[in-house]
A and B are shown apart, each in its own frame.
Chain A
């Protein structure tokens, strides 16, 4: 046994929000009292059976859970190895896993009496989920989105506005997800008294990485039960894409203490790891940004570098701190897929299964194409299909048109 390994991979974070050396609360003093309030409110909610009962009701009847665990028969045949199951998070209301977390945070916000909700979004899936639940509960909703992403994810911008949210294009910095997060933090600092910041991934200051993970763990909990029903045992491997890493953490966390389960996270390698990419673990190192210590893309002076991915949802120069810890302990293996590999995987799944994945989980499918053929036919592999591809169709059509020319 490696003496550095913990007894459990599921006991983190500690009371200061640390997963090993990662995580923490690196925020301005103005926000610190709010974060402590949130930590308290969430602890009370977590211990309250009424909170869980309410969540369960909405997850079932509003979100449409449980999401199916679907045997991808033709993809399995095509790859000729492991038996591949898709966890169909794209079938949730709003079209992705993001709604699981937003529902939880909106429930907490309501308990705290907050009437104004702010969010950052990359691909727009978190923004859409937030706009949706704000509409449902009659809350004011402001979504910060990088101006570059506003342009490439137009359908989601329209959807958010239709739902009554105000979408603010962020022009600062690189005009993508990290800048949207900076701008959301600036809003929060300015409107501390009535505002709840609904973070979309397992990053940010404690308690966000833990809280978002808890809300997303419904994915892994269901998968465990569904696989037991389908195959009578645990899966042998799990694969999920990672930007900040919330869909991956939601699938992985319930399985972390099952040593027989191999776990793979897939980062976005963009144009390739030696060029512009968004793979923080493969190409970054530990640093401090957006309230936590984690792997980040940066230069030798500690300046944050531009990320690049074809997928707006993965276009972030960091990763959730718990992933950084799972990487350093070796419990999860982190791989990466390029823009082109993701596009090919998008087409493959569309053609073989009639399921166009979002460009984000297309990165996971891209690695399944490599992992599945290397494994025996009785190997059970679960892929988190975290979102549907509808939002990406205009962008993909453009790219394909460009290729034909």
Chain B
């Protein structure tokens, strides 16, 4: 079974180009603006969309993404509405891969089987669930694979060669390499160290490897794009969005363009990369 993710990475490999993966929080700051932002992402140069599921207690996220989640929740966002947003996006775009990223509890409460069925129908291609390590694969990973969704796993600097096979065993779509030990939006990763880490993971898998955490500028995105199959930018986009809001935290006419303009600049950085990693 091939998902939009598999298709997209195969195309990019043919073009010899590294993917640009963008993360935004669903419903930040409201459902309508959020849908407009997601629709603008592919046009601005995003190859893959990661859409955050808001959660009250995002333990692996820094202050920016925490605040984005709380803004979305305050605006009445739920997992159900997140799936509505995906359906809205799919009306006009049936090719850009879309991955939901978040924490397990909202999915567990929604009901795993119902969630997987609804997510697939809505047009979700994959899941990144931060607090589900391979030790808990029975919970969601295995059912997701059976339902035809990719389950994208995080590999980190603490994932050593001994542990990598366990982490990669049920991973599909791509591998998300977290370039630093830390939370989202923290210190930037050194691209040389990242290159070594990507090479190390490549010895264990043929899946594409995308690198995230700490990438904020076109230059940084370009440096990572030269070492990996994709680079992920989240916090910088969330910060750009936040900077466009009014004093009450509501969207302004500048909100969608603030995100889209930064995506375009970052996408140019990625496209300027010499050559994607082998």
A→B interface (CB under 8 Å): 16, 24-34, 172-173, 178-179, 182, 185-186, 189-193, 287-291, 296, 298, 300-304
Contact = CB atoms under 8 A, between A and B. Distances in A.
B57 A178 contact: yes
B66 A25 contact: no
B10 interface: no
Most buried by B among A27, A29, A179, A182: A29
Most chain B beta-carbon neighbours within 10 Å: one of A24, A186, A301 = A301
A29 B181 contact: no
Contact of A186 (B54, B109, B133, B183): B183
Contact of A185 (B59, B62, B79, B135): B59
A298 B105 contact: yes
Given A25-B135, A26-B131, A34-B158, A288 B105 contact: yes
26 contacts: A24-B136, A28-B131, A29-B133, A29-B154, A30-B60, A32-B133, A33-B163, A173-B57, A173-B70, A182-B58, A186-B59, A190-B183, A287-B109, A288-B108, A289-B105, A291-B131, A301-B79, A302-B55, A302-B79, A302-B105, A302-B107, A303-B54, A303-B55, A303-B73, A303-B106, A304-B56
Given A287-B105, A302-B79, A302-B105, A29 B178 contact: yes
Contacts of A178: 57
Given A24-B136, A28-B133, A302-B110, A33 B60 contact: no
Interface in B71-91: 73, 78-80
A30 B57 contact: no
A111 to B, nearest CB: 20
A171 B224 CA distance: 33
Nearest to A296: B105
A25 B136 contact: yes
A254 B214 CA distance: 48
B220 interface: no
B40 interface: no
Interface in B142-192: 153-160, 163, 167, 178, 181-183, 186
Contact of B59 (A24, A182, A301): A182
A26 to B, nearest CB: 4
A26 B108 CA distance: 12
A391 to B, nearest CB: 26
Nearest to A305: B56
Contacts of A301: 78-80, 106, 109-110
Given A189-B181, A302-B110, A33 B158 contact: yes
A173 B56 contact: yes
A301 B104 CA distance: 11
A318 to B, nearest CB: 10
B264 interface: no
A32 B59 contact: no
Given A182-B57, A190-B181, A26 B132 contact: yes
B105 A28 contact: no
Contacts of A298: 105, 109
Contacts of A300: 109
Interface string B127-141: 000111101100000
B104 A288 contact: yes
B109 A302 contact: yes
Contacts of A31: 158
Which 9 residue pairs of A and B lie closest in terms of their CB atoms, listed nearest first? A302-B109, A302-B106, A190-B182, A30-B156, A301-B78, A302-B105, A26-B131, A304-B56, A32-B133
Contacts of A185: 59-60
A289 B103 CA distance: 9
A186 to B, nearest CB: 5
B16 interface: no
Nearest to A303: B56
Given A29-B153, A33-B163, A298-B109, A189 B183 contact: yes
Contacts of A30: 60, 154, 156-158, 178, 181-182
A34 B186 CA distance: 20
A147 B147 CA distance: 44
A363 B3 CA distance: 55
A189 B157 CA distance: 11
Given A29-B159, A29-B167, A192-B158, 17 more contacts: A25-B133, A26-B131, A26-B136, A28-B133, A29-B154, A29-B158, A29-B178, A32-B158, A32-B159, A33-B160, A185-B60, A186-B60, A189-B181, A288-B108, A301-B78, A301-B110, A302-B105
A67 B204 CA distance: 55
A205 B104 CA distance: 14
Contacts of B160: 33
Nearest to A178: B57
A365 B108 CA distance: 36
B249 interface: no
Most buried by A among B57, B110, B153: B57
Contacts of B159: 29, 32-33
Of A24, A25, A302, chain B has the most CB atoms within 10 Å of the CB of: A302
B57 A304 contact: yes
Interface in B35-60: 54-60
Contacts of B183: 186, 189-190
A27 B133 contact: yes
With a 10 A CB-CB cut-off, give which of B60, B80, B133, B159 has the most chain A CB atoms.
B133
